[in-house]
Structure 1
């Protein structure tokens, strides 16, 4: 009985060792075929280089447009957060009335801050900013009104407009101004750019898929005799297909890296021009480059296109290759 149990234990241990060995050999075979397919790219540099260039540059346009849209959204959000309502006070309003309105507005939960610009300060600021200079000294009276600058708690355009209309009804307010029309147009342009990015990306990525598929098809045709021999000695279709799928994977990795480098180079070239523009508006806006998640997203997309294009080709053409008769 003890011999029987000992034999079963030995058999179970041998089975476990066999499973572990097969599991390790599975990964060894995959690593070997992956490295072999990378070497195949090196042995055919012209065709491989052209495919990588096409894949990388096709990804560069949608990636760059995405980064531009992201930065445009950042600009839109930063200006939306800085939305201010200007309340122009009537000429006949007294200082006590202005102070009373300012106190009431500060207590309003819809408002985060209120700043009073009196007419004298407004004239001094206008004289310093304008090119009229000494000519303004000849005015007999100050034509500028007192202004209350109100910062709304909710800076969304619709909420800010509703608050502006409410404040414009105050008795000593001549009129209120909220310049958000340009911001609305900017948001519309950003939405249009988002839709354009999606449309352009779909067209270019579809083209990349077919280009990779055609490249793999040509590679399969060039190795038809080798594939026939492999099938004669018992190789399965999945074993034969694997190197071509790894070739598509390498196309994707290298093409994604190229798209990243080119898009970052384009953004780097734009930084100087954008810095000159933002300095004119006294803004501290900084162009946002690709973050880590976006980088891995680009690589994953490129790999998906490479492997997908390869799969479309190998599933059709390798099955069609059969060993010729004697």
Structure 2
């Protein structure tokens, strides 16, 4: 056979093999693409199944609680009281702070003038002080006006009529621009150095005591909230433990057929979540109901002092925070107990 014929045959064989190799590569690419799609579909199905199972377990846990309304209500009410106490103290502190901020004269400085300072000099000094940047307002009270006010409030009108001279000096009442203790003290020293001033009086001891009492009440509220939070964990832990014991046989069967601890744990975690959320909502209702009950009495008391103060309750953010904390405590209380209890329940 000639070389030309052999070369032609080899070329034909290579040409026949080339389409076959190309078709094989295409088939392999299609198989890889199908495998990738199957992988994505499988992952999507697993996520959908995971969400569906969580939804089913959450609803089943809620239905189990609703089947025992009395026991569930008693547990939720105990949790509600534990949540309502610190929340009520928090509301009371907020209202106390609002009242103290609304009081006028909390940082007033009284400048008693010397007896020889007349009304004209007192008004001129008042205008001079009112122009200072560290003074918000200055009010001059003449000696005659001070005597008349004292006569009306003291009830010693007849005694004062017997006096030959007015024993009261003129007075300038100053409202500082800043309520900071350092700024008020510096202003008091400057006013004491005035030649017209006989005495400068700053009575903030009662306000400082009020601030200290408020701070003490705030710390006591935090301590009480921590103790009651621990109580919530203990109550929920005991409740979840009893629920696990009641379903012990069911748990053993699930573990025998291959159920994992995570699978068995979910219903009890959701049970703790529902208990905590129910306790938070009921606690909020207790706080709001107490405020509604007290509102008319507080309004009547405020009217006696010519004040428009009214009780403030929990706002939207505080309410949501209270519910989230309650649900979180319920979930945490269940998680602390479930792992230990399920580890002790194993099929033999």
Correspondent of 1:238 among 262, 286, 297: 262
Correspondent of 2:317 among 293, 299, 319: 293
Is 2:299 the counterpart of 1:275?
yes
* Alignment size in residue pairs: 324
Is 2:133 the counterpart of 1:109?
yes
3-state secondary structure, aligned to 1:112:
strand
Residue 207 of structure 1 corresponds to 231
The C-alpha deviation readout for 1:50-85, integer Å capped at 9, x for no partner, is 211111111111111111122222233333785221
254-263 or 46-55, larger mean C-alpha shift: 46-55
Structure 2 Cα separation of the partners of residues 168 and 282 of structure 1? 34
CA RMSD of aligned residues (A): 2.3
Which residues of 2 match residues 51-62 of structure 1 at below 5 A? 51-62=75-86
Structure 2 Cα separation of the partners of residues 260 and 266 of structure 1? 10
Residue 274 of structure 2 corresponds to 250
Q: Name the larger-Rg structure.
A: 2
Residue 92 of structure 1 corresponds to 116
Structure 1 Cα separation of the partners of residues 293 and 182 of structure 2? 37
Residue 67 of structure 1 corresponds to 91
The C-alpha deviation readout for 1:262-306, integer Å capped at 9, x for no partner, is 011122222233333333333333322111221122112211221
Unaligned stretches of 5+ residues in structure 2: 1-24
The C-alpha deviation readout for 1:18-76, integer Å capped at 9, x for no partner, is 22222122111111100000001012223222211111111111111111122222233
Higher RCO (CA 8 Å, separation ≥ 6 residues): 1
Structure 2 Cα separation of the partners of residues 107 and 63 of structure 1? 46
Length-normalised TM-score, structure 1: 0.91
Structure 1 Cα separation of the partners of residues 147 and 291 of structure 2? 42
The C-alpha deviation readout for 1:234-253, integer Å capped at 9, x for no partner, is 11011001000000000011
Q: CA deviation at 1:135?
A: 7.4
Length-normalised TM-score, structure 2: 0.85
26-35 or 297-306, larger mean C-alpha shift: 297-306
